Structure formats: structure tokens, C-alpha cells
């Protein structure tokens, strides 16, 4: 069996589902999704999920917290956190200042984990769920330095990137059917008995 490790850019996947047609799929069991992407000769070793905690938006913070706790309670997905940085941008035309938040460290964290796992021989095939071109260098390095290992890109909806495609051993866009078949239960009970419920905004 071919050993598979999956690396998921959480924000990239989330924003790929922001279209109204896809919003119900935000309540996603990412481990089940990866399992549904496997071929018969592949076995899933681990799923690593990379994100940052949102700041300064209470509604978004609440939904993200519920979702991350649901992932931790329902799956054994490992979550890696970057930083959510608020950047103040000044409009050149009017002089107004507005906040433009950016996620930091996620791409670096993914790259480091992919390369470490390759050197430690933890996978035969890596599934990279992201359309971010910043992940081309580690993808190219693994495909070049480790001839017996392969990195495949699984693009979230609306996140296809031609540059990323050209540097992977294979790619496709995750379709509606795979997402529909990979949703979390509407209610999830934590070990302490507290019940997490799918946010009403995601229905």
C-alpha cells in the first residue's frame, strides 16, 4: 500500500467554499475528505491542518472556534497554528486608514512539515490541499530530491492555479460530490459532554 500524508491549507480551503453554492460544505470533515480522495492502493497515515486564529471579528472567531473544536473532537487531525496579523493600510486617494488582516506562517509551516516528513520517510505520496503558489518550492524540492515520493495537489473549489499544477506530479479540483460526502455530523459531543453545533450561517 502507498502511504499518504495530507497537508491542508485551512484558509485556502475555507475561502474556496465561500461561494453561496458551496457554503454548506464549510462544516467539513477534512480527514474524511482525504479518505474519499484515496485510491484503492493507498492508505492514509495522517492529516495535518494549517490555519490561524481569527482576531477582531467576534462572529468569525465564534464560527472558527466551533469548527476547530469539532475537528479536534471528531477526528485525530493535527492542527498547526500560524498568526493572524492586522495590517493598517492607508488609502493614497482619500487618506483613510483601514484594517487588512493577513495570515502569516501557514505556508512556512506546511513547507517545513512536508520536507521533514519526506526526510523522515513518513509518506510515499503527499496530498497538498491548497492552491497557493508559495508552496511550489517545497513541492518541487520533494519531487526532485526524493524520486520515490510524489506530491499531488488537490485544489479546493475556485482555487485552481496553473503554476502550481505544472510543479506537481498530479492534480485535480475537489468537486461538489467529494465535499458533500465529507461533512461533519450536525452535532458533535466533546469529551466533557458539551455539544458543538454547525453554525447556522453555514446551512
pLDDT of residue 160: 72
pLDDT at 203: 77
Task: Kindly give the parts of the chain with pLDDT less than 50.
Answer: 88, 98
pLDDT at res. 120: 98
Domain 2-197: assigned CATH number = 3.40.50.1010
- The whole-model pTM stands at 0.88
> How much is the pLDDT for 7?
97
Which residues 6+ apart lie within 8 Å of 38 measured at CB? 4, 44
Cβ atoms of residues 158 and 19 within 8 Å: yes
Handedness of CA 14, 17, 23, 28 (dihedral sign): negative
**Which single residue is written with the C-alpha cell 483601514?**
98
C-beta of residue 199 within 8 angstroms of C-beta of residue 66: yes
43's CB contacts (< 8 A; 6+ apart) are: 1, 2, 3, 4
pLDDT at 54: 83
Q: What angle do CA 70, 71, 74 make, to 5 degrees?
A: 80
Q: Show Cβ contacts of residue 121 under 8 Å, excluding neighbours closer than 6 positions.
A: none
Question: Do the strands 97-104 and 83-90 form a parallel or antiparallel pair, or are they unpaired?
Answer: antiparallel
8-58 confidence digits (pLDDT tens): 999 888 877 666 666 788 899 999 999 999 999 999 999 999 998 888 788
Q: Which residue has the cell 475528505?
A: 33
Amino acid at each position: 500500500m502507498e502511504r499518504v500524508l495530507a497537508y491542508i491549507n485551512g484558509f485556502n480551503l475555507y475561502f474556496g467554499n465561500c461561494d453561496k453554492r458551496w457554503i454548506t460544505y464549510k462544516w467539513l470533515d477534512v480527514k474524511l475528505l482525504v479518505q474519499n480522495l484515496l485510491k484503492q492502493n493507498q492508505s492514509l497515515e495522517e492529516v495535518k491542518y494549517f490555519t490561524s486564529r481569527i482576531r477582531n471579528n467576534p462572529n468569525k472567531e465564534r464560527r472558527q472556534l466551533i469548527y476547530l473544536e469539532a475537528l479536534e473532537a471528531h477526528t485525530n487531525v493535527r492542527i498547526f497554528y500560524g498568526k493572524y496579523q492586522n495590517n493598517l493600510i492607508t488609502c493614497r486617494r482619500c487618506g483613510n486608514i483601514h484594517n487588512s488582516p493577513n495570515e502569516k506562517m501557514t505556508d512556512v509551516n506546511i513547507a517545513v512539515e512536508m520536507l521533514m516528513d519526506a526526510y523522515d520517510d513518513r509518506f510515499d505520496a503527499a496530498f497538498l490541499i491548497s492552491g497557493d503558489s508559495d508552496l511550489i518550492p517545497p513541492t518541487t524540492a520533494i519531487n526532485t530530491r526524493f524520486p520515490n515520493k510524489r506530491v499531488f495537489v488537490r485544489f479546493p473549489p475556485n482555487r485552481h492555479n496553473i503554476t502550481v499544477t505544472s510543479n506537481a506530479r498530479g492534480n485535480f479540483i475537489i468537486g461538489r460530490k467529494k465535499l458533500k460526502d465529507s461533512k461533519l455530523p450536525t452535532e458533535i459531543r466533546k469529551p466533557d459532554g458539551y455539544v458543538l453545533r454547525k453554525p447556522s450561517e453555514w446551512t
